[in-house]
Structure 1
Amino acid sequence: MNARDQKATEQELKQDILDVLAALRARQECYPFSMVRNQLKAAKMPTSNGWPPLIEKFVEMVASRERLLECREELRRIYLQSLVVGTRAISIFEVDKREANVAAANIDALLDVTSDFAQAFPLPVSDEKLRKAGFNGVFCAIRKYEDGAVRLIACCRRAFRTREAIDVAGLDGDAKNALEGFDEVIGVKNGWVQAFDSIVVRPVEGTIEIQIDIPCRLTREDFGKARNFYTDRLNGLFGERFRNEKWLMLPRNLYPLISKLYARNDGYVNSLGHATTTKSIKEERMRGRQSDLRKETFHEEGMAAINGATDEYSIRKGWDTADGQRTPTVLISGHFGAAGGANPQVGYAFIDGCADEDDFAMVMSKLVL
C-alpha cells in the first residue's frame, strides 16, 4: 500500500472507484459491460445488469477501507486489461530478430511524457482536453514483458457519428409543429472518444504489431491512416539505424489464413465469405459465437454438392478460452473480388471478445500460416 492509500479516506477511495468505473464505461463499445460484469462476479464484487445500476451500487456501497481497496484494485485490473485488448485491428510486420531487439531497447524514445495523455494515463483525459487533441497517436506509456516484448501505448482522439430516431411526440412548441407530417425523424450526433493504440515489439518472434483500438466505428480508410502514421514514426526512428527508410513496409499477408482457418477442425467458424466454382458469391453467418457454420446442414450439403470447390475470401472464427467462459474471435475480411486472384492481400485482422492478454495471446497463436 502506497503512502497516498494509507492516508486516503473512505470517500476518496470510493471516488477512485467511480473514476475507474467512468473510464471503463467510456470503453463499452470495444470492451462490453458483460465482460466487466462477469469478472466482477468471479471476484465476488458488486454486479448489476447495466452501467447506471452498477455505478449506483458503488455510490451507495458501505464497506471498510480494506474492502474498498479490494474493489478499486480489481476494477483497475479490469480497466488496464481493457486498454490492451477489447476490439482491435492488428497488423503484423516481420523483421530481423536482431533489429527487433534493438527496437525493443530504444522504442521508448518515442514517448512524450509531458503530454496531457501521459499526465492522465492510465485514465482518459478530460472531455475538454480530448476535444482539443489531435487524431494522430501520442505515445504516453510503455510496458515491458518477461519474454523481452515491449508495448508502447499511444492515445488519440477518434471521431464518431451516431444516428438516433427522435420522438416527435416528445417535442414541444415550434419544434413539434415544424416536424409535423414526418413519419420518422433521425438526429445525427457527432462526438469523440479516446483511443488507446499499441505498438508491440516481440524480439523472440521477430515481429512488430500495430494494434489499432476500436472504441467507435472506423472505416478501412481510418485503419489505413492510423497504421501508416505509426509505421512512419517507427521508420523515422529506426530507418537510418537499420539503413532502410522503409523498414516497416508491408504487413504480413493474412489472406492465405482464411482457407486454413476454415480447414482446421478447432474452434467455431461463425461466418464465411466465399466464391464458388458455380459463379455464386456466398455470405454465410451463424448466430452466436459458439455456432459452427461447418456443422450447419445447409452449408454442409451445399459444400458437398460442389465437392468443396470454392474460394474463401473472408472468415470469422472463435475459440473457447481455457476456462470456457468466453469465445474470442478473429475476423479476416477480404473482398469477393479477390477470390481466386493471383496474389490477394489482407493486411490486418480484427480481434474481439478478449477479457485479458491471455485471451488475446490465445487468438494470436491461431494466426500462424
Structure 2
Amino acid sequence: MNQGTPKPVPALLTGELLRSLKLRAKWPSVREYLGSKDLRPRTGWSAIDDALNGKKQAPELLAALQQYYAGINLAGDRYIQQYDLDDSAIVDLLKALASAQVARNAFHTHYPFILPAASLHAVGNQMELCEITQQGADYILVFCSRREYIERQLFEGSAAAAIGASTPSLAGFDRILGLKAKYFQAFDIVAIRPKLKRVEFQIDLPPGQAREGQKETQTRLLLQTATLCLPPLTFIGPLTRPVNMFPAIGEIYSDARNGGKLKSLKLRTATGLIDHLRTLVDGEDLRINKYHTNATEAVGNKVEPFEVLTELEFKNPGGKVTVAISSSVSMLASNDKFVGGFEVMGAATQTDILRATSKAMSFC
C-alpha cells in the first residue's frame, strides 16, 4: 500500500494550517478543543494569529492546532452510506489495498491543507485519491474534489433600486435575487472496516455550505471513483442497496437509555397530525419534554416518528456527535420503508465517526 501523503513545506505550515482551519472549522469548536488542552485564546482567530507569532505558548498551540485539524479534516459533518461485506469481498479488498497506488495530483501541492481559492477554481471537477491510511484495523481512503454550491442573496427596497439604477435591464423590480457560484474543497472518504465487515462511503459536508441535492449524487461519484482504485468494489452494483437505516428511527426514539439525547423529532400521530419538535436547551431530551409527553399521552402514545436527530456522548476518549436519520411522512405508508444513509455531525475524529456509525447500526 502506497500511502502517497506528501508533506507541506515546513515554512508554509502555520499559514496553511490557519487558512485551512478557518475554512473548515467553527471557532467555538476550536476554542473548546484548545480549552481541553489548557490553551485558552478567548478572542477568536486574531488571538491564534498573535499567539503563533512568537509568544511562549506558540509551539504547544501549533501542535494542538495540527492535531485538531488532522482530526476534523477526516471527520466533521458527513453523510454516510454503509454496505455489508462478505468474507470473499474482504479478502479481495485487502489484496487490492496492498498494491494500491496514490498518483500525484493537483491537490497534493497543498494536501492535507486546502488549495488556495485561485488554484481550487482552476482544478477540474475530477475526484482524486489523495491518501490511503490505516487506522487500527481499518483502511481510510481520502478523495479530494472541487465542489460547487450556490450562494443566494435577496435584494429588496433601496438595495434593489440601486441595482436597477446601475443595470437598466433590472430596473423596476421590487426584489432581486442574486445567485453566485462558489467552490469548496471536499475531503470524501471510503472506509474499509474488515473486522466489522462493512464499507462506508462518507460524503464531506463542510459547515455552512449547501447540502441538499448533493449527498446521493456525490455518493455515486465517490463509489465510481473508488471502484477505479479498488476494483473489488464492483460488487456494489446499480441495484445494490446500502444498509437500511429506517428501522433505527423508531428504535432510537423508543430507547431513552441508549439512544442518546433526542434533540429534534418529526412524527405523525394517530390523529394524522404532523409534528416537528426541536429543543435548543443543552442537555434536554425531547423524550421527557413535558409538551411532548403530554401530547403523546393524549393520542394514546400512538405516534410514528419519521425523522430523529440525537446527540451521542462518548467516554474514553470523550467526544460528542449528533446523528440525524431523515425520512418523509409518505414513507410511513410505504410497503418499502427504506432510508439509505444518515448524517453524523460534529465529529472531531474518525474514531468518533466509527463510534457513531456503530451506535446507529446497533438500532437497525
Q: Could you say which TM-score interval applies, normalised by the shorter chain?
A: 0.7 to 0.9
Asked if residue 319 in structure 1 is aligned to residue 312 in structure 2, the reply is yes
Following the alignment from structure 2 to structure 1, what is the Cα–Cα distance between the partners of residues 108 and 155?
39
Segments of 5+ residues of structure 2 without an aligned counterpart are 1-9
2:249 aligns with: 258
2:189 aligns with: 198
The aligned amino acid for 1:130 is: L
1:363 is matched with which residue: 323, 331, 356?
Answer: 356
Aligned residues: 349
Q: Which moved more, 1:116-125 or 1:173-182?
A: 173-182
Asked if residue 80 in structure 1 is aligned to residue 70 in structure 2, the reply is yes
The aligned amino acid for 2:342 is: A
Does the 8 Å contact 2:312/2:322 carry over to 1? yes
Following the alignment from structure 1 to structure 2, what is the Cα–Cα distance between the partners of residues 117 and 263?
45
The aligned amino acid for 1:121 is: Y
Does the 8 Å contact 1:160/1:217 carry over to 2? yes
Asked if residue 120 in structure 1 is aligned to residue 110 in structure 2, the reply is yes
The aligned amino acid for 2:14 is: I
Following the alignment from structure 1 to structure 2, what is the Cα–Cα distance between the partners of residues 245 and 217?
28
**1:1-369 map, 5 Å:** 12=11, 16-28=13-25, 32-45=26-39, 47-51=41-45, 53-58=46-51, 61-63=53-55, 67-107=57-97, 111-146=101-136, 148-164=137-153, 187-215=178-206, 216-220=209-213, 222-235=214-227, 244=235, 246=237, 249-266=240-257, 267-288=260-281, 290-322=283-315, 327-367=320-360, 368=362, 369=364
Q: For 1:309-368, what per-residue CA distance to the aligned partner results, in whole angstroms no more than 9, with x for missing partners? A: 122211101122327976411000101110142221111111112222333333223112
Q: For 1:137-182, what per-residue CA distance to the aligned partner results, in whole angstroms no more than 9, with x for missing partners? A: 2111111022x21000000011122234669879999977779998
* Sequence identity (%): 21
Q: Which moved more, 1:95-104 or 1:209-218?
A: 95-104
Does the 8 Å contact 1:93/1:248 carry over to 2? no
The aligned amino acid for 1:162 is: E
Decide which structure has greater strand share.
Answer: 2
Q: For 1:40-92, what per-residue CA distance to the aligned partner results, in whole angstroms no more than 9, with x for missing partners? A: 222233523433x2344236x3236xx54333222111111111111100001
> What displacement does 1:265 show?
1.4
Does the 8 Å contact 2:164/2:172 carry over to 1? no
> What displacement does 1:107 show?
3.7
Does the 8 Å contact 1:108/1:142 carry over to 2? no
Does the 8 Å contact 1:289/1:327 carry over to 2? no
Q: CA RMSD in A?
A: 3.3
Following the alignment from structure 1 to structure 2, what is the Cα–Cα distance between the partners of residues 243 and 193?
29
1:3 aligns with: none
Q: Say which SS state the counterpart of residue 366 (structure 1) adopts.
A: helix
Q: Which moved more, 1:262-271 or 1:42-51?
A: 42-51
Following the alignment from structure 2 to structure 1, what is the Cα–Cα distance between the partners of residues 354 and 122?
35
The aligned amino acid for 2:36 is: A
Following the alignment from structure 2 to structure 1, what is the Cα–Cα distance between the partners of residues 316 and 100?
38
Q: For 1:200-244, what per-residue CA distance to the aligned partner results, in whole angstroms no more than 9, with x for missing partners? A: 000001100000001221223x111111122234445656x5884
Q: Say which SS state the counterpart of residue 320 (structure 1) adopts.
A: strand
Segments of 5+ residues of structure 1 without an aligned counterpart are 1-7
Task: Summarize the Cα distance change of 1:170–1:323 in structure 2 as closer, same or farther, 3 Å threshold.
Answer: farther
Following the alignment from structure 1 to structure 2, what is the Cα–Cα distance between the partners of residues 72 and 117?
23
Does the 8 Å contact 1:268/1:289 carry over to 2? no
Does the 8 Å contact 1:104/1:150 carry over to 2? no
Q: Say which SS state the counterpart of residue 313 (structure 2) adopts.
A: coil
Q: For 1:260-310, what per-residue CA distance to the aligned partner results, in whole angstroms no more than 9, with x for missing partners? A: 011111321111111222122222221245321111111101111222212
Following the alignment from structure 2 to structure 1, what is the Cα–Cα distance between the partners of residues 97 and 32?
36
Task: Summarize the Cα distance change of 1:121–1:328 in structure 2 as closer, same or farther, 3 Å threshold.
Answer: same
